[in-house]
């Protein structure tokens, strides 16, 4: 048995024996499985958000070395580094098994008064997502969001246009629901109220802009996912393909300058933990979003089964079966096992 297979077998027994969770690292890099999957998905940016020192808030996939460091804006409630999504926690009934045991995230305690603390990432270190792929964009983030949020509580945003209430994209909370706002290439403001709500527990959120799908009748213009499941599909009311507004403005995490310039301060802050933020200049598919979520939950490299259970009888986990002799794949495989 190879070293990798021995590790897979050990993790299989550990996860389901109530002894401990087991983190499996990608063989070729030593990185957590979730990060290995992220890397292979070709993002333009990934921020681990492990610390609040500006020099530590870095893009793991920066196009060029020496990109400007992030800045941390002060507020009445400083950002805290706290224990985050890791193999010790659950998402729903699933144990997270693809991230570090000592993973940490950033806790924001936002309000709608004064200036809130936020992480500001220099816009020049990121591409203008309106060019050359103005109709394709994806954002992924893990959050543990309080159900109690101020309206337009800013989770992740980037301004555009008049820089007051115009956005290349923004993921926020409005009336207790996740809301996605953006301005298109004609500077028309669009807001998409999703049925998803902050739960107070860990959630994996993904926003996908796939304007091409409007004409193809397959993807819709904008899609929103929670824990790998598509919960919202938005289309433009005038049946035209929407393109993102151009922007090289800063990326803001944990707050938003609502109806005012960023320089005036982030007056609507997010309330909760934010971790593992990823950006792509392409549209992820339903299958890719589900695989991304499963890479954290299952803790496996793509296309490899690495978990199981054994108690002297057959058990089914997803679409695979572990018996007392060997792994046996069922006749119907989900996409992440193809």
Which tens digit of pLDDT belongs to each residue from 12-29? 343 333 323 344 455 445
**Mean pLDDT within 224-240:** 78
Top pLDDT among 289 and 321 is at: 289
Looking at residue 214, its pLDDT comes to: 58
Residues 79-115 have pLDDT tens digits of: 999 999 999 899 988 899 999 999 999 999 988 777 8
Domain ranges of the chain: 30-307
Count Cβ neighbours within 10 Å for each residue of 241-250 and write b for 16 or more, e otherwise: ebbbbbbebb
C-alpha–C-alpha distance, residues 194 and 191, integer Å = 10
Query: Lowest-pLDDT range, 44-58, 120-134, 200-214, 216-230?
Result: 216-230
Looking at residue 239, its pLDDT comes to: 45
Q: Cα separations (Å) of 209 from 192, 197, 280?
A: 12, 20, 10
The band of 298, judged by pLDDT with boundaries at 50, 70 and 90, is confident
Looking at residue 233, its pLDDT comes to: 86
Phi and psi angles of residue 104, each rounded to the nearest 5 degrees, phi first: -125, 160
C-alpha–C-alpha distance, residues 34 and 301, integer Å = 8
Nearest to 246 by CA among 169, 317, 324: 169
Looking at residue 277, its pLDDT comes to: 97
Looking at residue 221, its pLDDT comes to: 78
pTM across the whole model: 0.80
Looking at residue 25, its pLDDT comes to: 52
**Inter-axis angle of helices 286-297 and 33-40, nearest 10:** 160
Q: What is the dihedral of CA 300, 304, 308, 314, to 10 degrees?
A: 160
User: Does position 141 have pLDDT exceeding 60, yes or no?
Assistant: yes
**Mean pLDDT within 108-134:** 85
What's the mean per-residue pLDDT of the chain? 77
Looking at residue 220, its pLDDT comes to: 59
* Most confident among 99-113, 217-231, 313-327 (mean pLDDT): 99-113
The band of 274, judged by pLDDT with boundaries at 50, 70 and 90, is very high
User: Does position 67 have pLDDT exceeding 80, yes or no?
Assistant: no
Residues 165-210 have pLDDT tens digits of: 888 899 999 999 999 988 776 666 777 878 899 999 999 999 998 8
C-alpha–C-alpha distance, residues 159 and 205, integer Å = 20
The CATH class given to the 30-307 domain equals mainly beta
Looking at residue 291, its pLDDT comes to: 95
């Amino acid at each position: 048995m190879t070293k990798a297979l021995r590790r897979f077998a050990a993790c299989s027994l550990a996860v389901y024996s109530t002894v401990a969770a087991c983190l499996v690292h990608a063989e070729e890099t030593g990185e957590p499985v979730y990060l290995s999957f992220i890397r292979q998905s070709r993002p333009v940016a990934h921020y681990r958000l492990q610390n609040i020192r500006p020099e530590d808030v870095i893009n793991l996939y920066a196009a060029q070395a020496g990109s400007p460091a992030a800045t941390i804006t002060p507020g009445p409630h400083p950002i805290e580094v706290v224990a985050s999504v890791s193999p010790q926690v659950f998402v729903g009934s699933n144990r997270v098994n693809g991230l570090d045991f000592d993973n940490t995230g950033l806790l924001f305690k936002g309000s709608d008064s004064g200036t809130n603390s936020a992480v500001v990432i220099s816009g020049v270190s990121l591409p203008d997502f309106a060019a050359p792929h103005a109709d394709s964009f994806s954002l992924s983030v893990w959050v543990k969001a309080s159900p109690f949020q101020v309206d337009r509580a800013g989770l992740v945003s980037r301004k555009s246009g008049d820089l007051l209430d115009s956005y290349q994209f923004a993921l926020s909370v409005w009336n207790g629901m996740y809301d996605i706002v953006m301005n298109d290439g004609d500077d028309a403001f669009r807001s998409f109220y999703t049925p998803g709500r902050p739960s107070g527990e860990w959630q994996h959120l993904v926003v996908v802009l796939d304007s091409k799908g409007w004409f193809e009748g397959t993807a819709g213009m904008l899609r929103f996912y929670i824990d790998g499941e598509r919960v919202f599909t938005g289309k433009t009311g005038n049946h035209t393909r929407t393109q993102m507004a151009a922007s090289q403005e800063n990326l803001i995490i944990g707050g938003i300058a609502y109806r005012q310039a960023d320089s005036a301060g982030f007056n609507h802050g997010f309330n909760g933990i934010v971790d593992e933020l990823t950006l792509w200049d392409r549209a992820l598919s339903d299958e890719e979003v589900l695989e991304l979520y499963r890479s954290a939950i299952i803790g496996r490299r793509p296309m490899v089964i690495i978990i199981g259970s054994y108690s002297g009888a057959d058990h089914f986990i997803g679409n695979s079966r572990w018996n007392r002799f060997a792994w046996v794949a069922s006749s119907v495989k989900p996409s992440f096992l193809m």
